[in-house]
Amino acid sequence: MKNQADKAKKIEIITAELGRFTLSPDQLKKSAHALYDFYSFLDEYNRKVNLVADSSFEEFLYRHVLDSLSVIELIKSRNIRRIIDIGSGAGLPGIPICILCSDVRLLSVESIRKKTTFQEELLKRLHLDGVTAVNMRAEALAASDIRESADMVVTRAVADSSVLAEIALPFLKIGGIAVFYKGTNISTELSTAKKAISVCGGKLTSINTYKIREIDPERSLVIIEKVKPTPKKYPREVGVAFKNPIL
C-alpha cells in the first residue's frame, strides 16, 4: 500500500508539472504515467549500471525531464516530425519529447553501449514504437542515408557549440534546426563557434532563455537553422571535432 501511495503521489506531481504544456486530458494522463515508468525503471537500473549521477525523483523530473521538454512549443510551432538526439545518454532529451509528442519519430544516438541497452529496454516497456536507439558515434552515422534528413537535431551533450555544430548540422535538412541545451554564460562560446556554424551550413537564429522553477538557474536553448548544405567532409573522423574544433 505504501508503494502504491508513493507512486500515486509522484504521478500527481508529474501531472501537475505537465500542466504547463497544452495537452488533452488523455495525453496528460498517459504522459504522466509513462514518465513515472521511465523514472521507476531508471532508478532501478541505475543501482546496477551507472547511467546518471543522481536518479532521485526530484532530479529526474526537474533537472532532466522538464528541461528536456523546454523545446516542446518549438516542436509544435514548427510542425517537427523527425528528430535526431545526439549523445542521448539515458534517453534525454529525446524520449520525454516523444512521450508528449507521439507523432514525432526519433533516432536516439548514443555511443556508450550500456546506455543504449538501457534505452532499448525502456522503449519496450513504454511501447514507444516511433523511437529507435542506435549505438554509434554520430560522426560515423553522418555518412549514412539519414544525412540531411532531420527536421530537428537536439543535444544536451557537454561539448562546446563549435563541436556540436560540426556533429549536428550534417543531419539536418535545409530549413531544419539544431537545438543545443546550454546554461546562460555562453556568449564567448557562441562567438568562438561562429565559424563552425557557418562552415557547416548553419545560422544562429535565437537563444531562448528559461527557468524550470524560480529556484533553478537560468538555462538557454541555442537555436541554429540549416540554411545551406554541409560540405561532405564534415563531420570529420570520430573524435577530431573535439580535439581540433573549427575555429
Please, what is the Cα angle at 53 between 119 and 212, to 5 degrees?
Answer: 85
Position 158 scores a pLDDT of 81
Residue 19 domain-assigned (yes or no): no
Residue 16 domain-assigned (yes or no): no
Residue 85 domain-assigned (yes or no): yes
Domain containing residue 143: 65-243
Position 157 scores a pLDDT of 81
The CA distance from 125 to 120, in Å, is 9
Specify the amino acid at residue 143: A
Residue 7 domain-assigned (yes or no): no
Residue 204 domain-assigned (yes or no): yes
Residues of the chain with pLDDT under 50: none
The number of helices, as runs of H, and strands, as runs of E, in the chain is 11, 7
Residue 145 domain-assigned (yes or no): yes
CB 7 within 8 A of CB 43: no
Residue 220 domain-assigned (yes or no): yes
Residue 4 domain-assigned (yes or no): no
Cell triple for 139: 560522426
Give how many domains the chain has, as a whole number: 1
Residue 195, judged by CB atoms within 10 A of its CB (0-12, 13-18, 19+), counts as: middle
142-171 exposure pattern, b = at least 16 Cβ within 10 A, e = fewer:
beeebbbebbbbbbbbebbbbbbbbbbbbb
Position 1 scores a pLDDT of 65
Question: 173-209: per-residue pLDDT in tens?
Answer: 999 999 999 998 899 999 999 999 999 999 999 999 9
Specify the amino acid at residue 230: T
CATH of the domain at 129: 3.40.50.150
| pTM for this entry | 0.96
